[in-house]
Amino acid sequence: MRLIGWAIALAAAGLTPAAAGAQAPAPSQTAATTATPPAGTAQDATKPDAAQPAIVYGSVGHAIPTPGIGEPDGRKGLQYQVTPIGEEAAAFHNNWLLTLCAIISVFVLALLLFAIIRFRRGANPTPSRNSHNTMIEVVWTLVPVLILVSIAIPSIRLLRHQYSPPRADVTVKVTGHQWYWSYELPDYGVSFDSYMLKEANDPTRQANQRARDPRDGPPLLAVDNRLVIPAGKVVKFIVTADDVIHSFAMPAFWIKQDANPGQLHETWAKVDRPGVYFGQCSELCGARHGFMPIAIEVVPQAQFDEWVGKNGGHMPGAQPAAAAAPAAATAAPAANATPEPATNQAANAQN
């Protein structure tokens, strides 16, 4: 039996290299496969970088970001907020919560120092035997309750404003993928994917991937296709995912909404200040989680309409150009047709 076992093992060892050689693709096939990057990573996957359409910076969809606005700039506090919800939340955090934390910290520190000095062994050779004090127990019960109530009232008001959105002017469906975002404006007939722009010296950048320019935005945050929304309009974001859990986070909008596969979550924003704002996926979603940025450009209504037209869309209620042509062709024969007579007398007169 041992001899049979050794024979089987040697036969398997001899066949393994042959099987591996048979399964390995030819070098030319491997080169052809790796030469083409995944779909959506460039403006046109069939053209090299030099043949891509020229980017006109300053035009709609390619506005130059303002330093310190809508992007990280090294500050220790919150980003500059550009939505009503964000302004309310930032004021609550900066003017009330931080002040309350500072007062409590100073009070506890003073109380600790007082106890260390007043009740040290040198000043109290015979320690007190008191174990209860009704007034102190009432105070240290009521004061924390009042503090929590003072925090709860503005918190509940903020939540009510955040989760009671006004009527939406624009609806955007946001879908998270590993590792890029897809945007769809169903009322406008616009949909596209958005990928991070890699650096020019990045060895993983393919020839047909546009390299990041400083005017596109900061490293790891600039994207090839920005989402464009109109200024001063209520924009509803319907957030979902198609693979794993992601998180659609835009700090300047005070938005952080989980994107769960098979579920639709809703959030909203109303931005009055035109500009470019950056965010990232904020839920660990795999190996390239840190390379999944979000870029939203806020423009006046006229420029938003221009962007919709450039992306093959149409205004709400208007018929898409592709569907309008067949409809017009169908209507033309109908217009030339002879109308049917309404009565027998009319038919006799016509004959």
Task: Express as a percent the part of the chain with pLDDT over 70.
Answer: 75
- pLDDT tier at 52, thresholds 50, 70, 90: low
Name the phi and psi angles at 174, rounded to 5.
Answer: -115, 125
Average pLDDT over residues 159-181: 94
Task: Express as a percent the part of the chain with pLDDT over 90.
Answer: 62
- pLDDT tier at 50, thresholds 50, 70, 90: low
State CA 11 to chain mean position distance: 56
What is the model's pTM? 0.74
- pLDDT tier at 332, thresholds 50, 70, 90: very low
Q: What is the CA radius of gyration of the chain?
A: 33
pLDDT value of position 346: 46
- pLDDT tier at 20, thresholds 50, 70, 90: very low
pLDDT digits (tens, 9 = 90+) for 267-316: 999 999 999 999 999 999 999 999 999 999 999 999 999 999 999 999 98
**226-244 burial: b if 16+ Cβ within 10 Å, else e:** bbbbbbebbbbbbbbbeeb
pLDDT value of position 5: 58
**Are the C-beta atoms of 210 and 224 separated by less than 8 Å?**
yes
Q: Which of 19-23, 75-79, 208-212, 217-221 has the lowest mean pLDDT?
A: 19-23
- pLDDT tier at 17, thresholds 50, 70, 90: very low
Separation between Cα atoms, residue 15 and residue 103, nearest integer Å: 76
pLDDT of 35 over the 80 cut? no
pLDDT value of position 321: 58
pLDDT value of position 22: 41
pLDDT value of position 33: 36
* Amino acid occupying residue 67: P
E-strand stretches of 148-306: 170-177, 180-185, 190-194, 227-230, 234-241, 246-250, 255-259, 265-270, 275-281, 293-299
Name the phi and psi angles at 184, rounded to 5.
Answer: -140, 130
pLDDT value of position 132: 81
pLDDT value of position 120: 86
pLDDT digits (tens, 9 = 90+) for 197-244: 999 999 988 888 889 999 999 999 999 999 999 999 999 999 999 999
Is the four-CA dihedral 303, 309, 313, 317 of positive or negative sign? positive
Q: Nearest to residue 64, comparing CAs of 214, 236, 166, 167? A: 214
Average pLDDT, the chain: 82
**Are the C-beta atoms of 240 and 259 separated by less than 8 Å?**
yes
Q: Nearest to residue 87, comparing CAs of 207, 242, 252? A: 252
User: Tokens 């769809």 identify what position?
Assistant: 184
**Are the C-beta atoms of 210 and 52 separated by less than 8 Å?**
yes
pLDDT value of position 16: 43
**Are the C-beta atoms of 295 and 177 separated by less than 8 Å?**
no
Average pLDDT over residues 60-88: 92
Element housing 106 (H / E): helix 98-118
